[in-house]
Amino acid sequence: METPEYYKHLSLFWTDIIHLMSSKPQALTSIGPMRAFTANSKKISVELIEINEKLFEFNQHLTEYFKQLSDTWGIAQKKVNQKVPEIPQDVEQMEAVKRIWIDIFDNDFTELFDSEKFGNNYGKLVSKELELTKHWNNIINVILQSANLPSKEEIDEVYKEIHSLKKRVSKLELELKKEKSKNAK
């Protein structure tokens, strides 16, 4: 068994033990929100284990992303150094160096960003980031549920409804003002 799998199984074992202990009435955590939180601790532990796996993959793709950027920068800078004079002597030479630098960097980074290798890695990087966000949201929802609080989605729904009601009230107030000014004439 590989080391990460061993720790995953070990973590799940201990969360099962805590879950079993919390389901007993005599457990210390059997009062109020802590009982609900402890009952849901296995869900949180599983999410944390999955977060660690996704974080490892995310870091691999992030490292590759910065390696690609760094390698491209180094190659482009070498090309610039080969094409420009050692020390620009006047304003014209400095402008020429600037144009050369911009052209080379523009071309090299455009090639990088258009490459399939960069696109694949960047897509996986964003995908892992979204998976991490999903796991964090799941943990937050478990904690909110344990504390008997509304979830983020429920709060967002309430905000949408309040916004809709504000718009309707503003529209009705405007119509009422128009009606009053019409009746006053």
pLDDT in tens, 69-114: 999 999 999 999 888 867 667 888 888 888 999 999 999 999 999 9
pLDDT in tens, 50-73: 898 899 999 999 999 999 999 999
- Domain co-membership, 139 together with 181: no
Per the structure, the count of domains in the chain is 2
Arithmetic mean of pLDDT over the chain: 84
- Domain co-membership, 173 together with 138: no
Buried b (16+ CB within 10 A) or exposed e, 129-165: eebbeebeebbebbbebbeeeeeeeeeeeeeeeeeee
Question: Domain range holding 159?
Answer: 152-185
3-state SS assignment for residue 147: coil
- Domain co-membership, 86 together with 32: yes
Determine which of 35-39, 89-93, 103-107, 125-129 has the lowest per-residue pLDDT on average.
35-39
Tell me the backbone φ, ψ of residue 161, rounded to 5 degrees: -65, -40
- Domain co-membership, 59 together with 85: yes
- Domain co-membership, 47 together with 102: yes
Gap between the Cα atoms of 48 and 64, Å rounded? 24
Torsion-angle region of 88 (φ positive above 0: left; ψ -120 to 50: alpha; else: beta): beta
Q: CA–CA distance from 145 to each of 21, 27, 43, 154, 159 (Å)? A: 20, 20, 12, 11, 19
Q: CA–CA distance from 110 to each of 97, 99, 119 (Å)? A: 20, 16, 12
User: pLDDT band at 24, cuts 50/70/90?
Assistant: low
**Based on the number of CB atoms within 10 Å of its own CB, is 128 exposed (0-12), middle (13-18) or buried (19 or more)?**
buried
Residue 72 in contact with residue 112, Cβ under 8 Å? yes
More confident residue, 110 or 26: 110
Tokens encoding 162: 């309040």
- Domain co-membership, 53 together with 134: yes
- Domain co-membership, 113 together with 167: no
- Domain co-membership, 140 together with 165: no
Radius of gyration of the chain from Cα atoms? 29
- Domain co-membership, 35 together with 46: yes
- Domain co-membership, 85 together with 175: no
- Domain co-membership, 138 together with 176: no
